[in-house]
Amino acid sequence: MEKKVKIVEIGPRDGFQSVKTFIPTETKLKIIDGLVEAGYKKIQMGSFVSPKAIPQMRDSAVIAETVLERYKGVEFFALVPNLYGSKAAAKAGLKEITPVISLSESHNMANVKRTREQSLEEIKKIREELPDMKITQDIATVFGCPFEGEMSVEALIELVGNIRELGIHSFTLCDTVGMAYPTLVERVFCAMKKNFPEDKFHVHIHDTRNMGILNSYIALQNGADSIQAAVGGLGGCPFAPGATGNTSSEDLVYMLEQCGYETGINFAKLLKTAKYVKAKIDGNFSGHQINIPEKPCVITQE
Ligand SMILES: CC(C)(COP(=O)([O-])OP(=O)([O-])OC[C@H]1O[C@@H](n2cnc3c(N)ncnc32)[C@H](O)[C@@H]1OP(=O)([O-])[O-])[C@@H](O)C(=O)NCCC(=O)NCCSC(=O)C[C@@](C)(O)CC(=O)[O-]
- pLDDT, one tens digit per residue, over 35-83 is 999 999 999 999 999 999 999 999 999 999 999 999 999 999 999 999 9
Residue by residue, DSSP assigns the chain as --EE--EEE-IIIIIHHT-SSPPPHHHHHHHHHHHHHHT-SEEEEEE---TTT-GGGGGHHHHHHHHHHH-TTSEEEEEESSHHHHHHHHHTT-SEEEEEEESSHHHHHHHHSS-HHHHHHHHHHHHHH-TTSEE-EEEETTT-BTTTB---HHHHHHHHHHHHTTT--EEEEEETTS---HHHHHHHHHHHHHH-TTSEEEEEEB-TTS-HHHHHHHHHHTT-SEEEEBGGGB---TTSTT--PBPBHHHHHHHHHHTTEE----HHHHHHHHHHHHHH--S-B--SGGG-SSPPSS----
Please state the rounded mean pLDDT for residues 272-293: 92
Q: Specify the pLDDT at position 38.
A: 98
CB 110 within 8 A of CB 240: yes
Domains and CATH numbers, the chain: 3-291 (3.20.20.70)
> Is the C-beta atom of 100 inside 6 A of ligand 1?
yes
Tell me if 85 CB under 6 Å of ligand 1. yes
How far does the centroid of ligand 1 lie from the alpha carbon of residue 181, in Å? 30
Write down the pLDDT at residue 126.
98
Percent pLDDT > 70 in the chain is: 96
What number of other Cβ atoms are within 10 A of residue 20's Cβ?
9
Ligand 1 centre and the CA of 51: distance in Å?
8
CA distance 192 to 9: 23
Whether 14 is in the pocket of ligand 1, judged by its Cβ within 6 Å, is yes
pLDDT above 90: residue 284? no
In this structure, the residue with its CA closest to atom 6 of ligand 1 is 113
Pick the more confident residue, 87 or 299.
87
Does residue 8 register a pLDDT over 60? yes
pLDDT at 291 (0 to 100) = 86
Ligand 1 atom with the shortest distance to the CA of 141: 58
**Euclidean distance between CA atoms 154 and 157, whole angstroms:** 5
Predicted local confidence at residue 302, as pLDDT: 53
Distance CA 172, CA 138 (A): 5
Q: What is the mean pLDDT of residues 96-109?
A: 98
Ligand 1 centroid – CA 225 distance (Å)? 28
Give the model's pLDDT for residue 149. 96
Residue 89 phi/psi, 5-degree rounding, is -65, -45
- What pLDDT is attached to residue 294? 66
CA distance 45 to 70: 13
Could you please report the per-residue DSSP string of 62-114?
HHHHHHHHH-TTSEEEEEESSHHHHHHHHHTT-SEEEEEEESSHHHHHHHHSS
Q: How high is the pLDDT of residue 243?
A: 86
Exposed, middle or buried, 259 (CB in 10 Å: 0-12/13-18/19+)? exposed
Looking at residue 242, its pLDDT comes to 85
Q: Is 297 a catalytic residue?
A: no
Given the residues 145, 237, 259, 297, the one annotated as active site: 237
212 touches ligand 1 (CB under 6 Å): no
Nearest C-alpha neighbor of 86 from the set 76, 101, 96: 96
Question: Which whole number is the average pLDDT over 97-110?
Answer: 98
Beta bridge partner(s), residue 246: 206
Check residue 108 and give its pLDDT.
Answer: 98
Q: What is the mean pLDDT of residues 250-259?
A: 96
Quick one: pLDDT at residue 231? 98
pTM check: above 0.90: yes
pLDDT at 301: 55
For residue 13, pLDDT over 70 is answered with: yes
Q: What is the mean pLDDT of the chain?
A: 95
pLDDT at 292: 85
Is residue 2 scored above 90 in pLDDT?
A: no
Mean pLDDT (whole number) for 141-158: 97
Distance of CA 184 to the CA centre of its chain: 19
The predicted structure's pLDDT at residue 282: 93
Reported as a pLDDT band with limits 50, 70 and 90, residue 293 is: confident
Over range 98-118, report the average pLDDT. Answer: 98
Nearest CA to ligand 1 atom 31: 50
Does any ligand 1 atom lie closer than 6 A to the CB of residue 50? Answer: yes
Q: Per-residue pLDDT averaged across 212-241, rounded?
A: 96
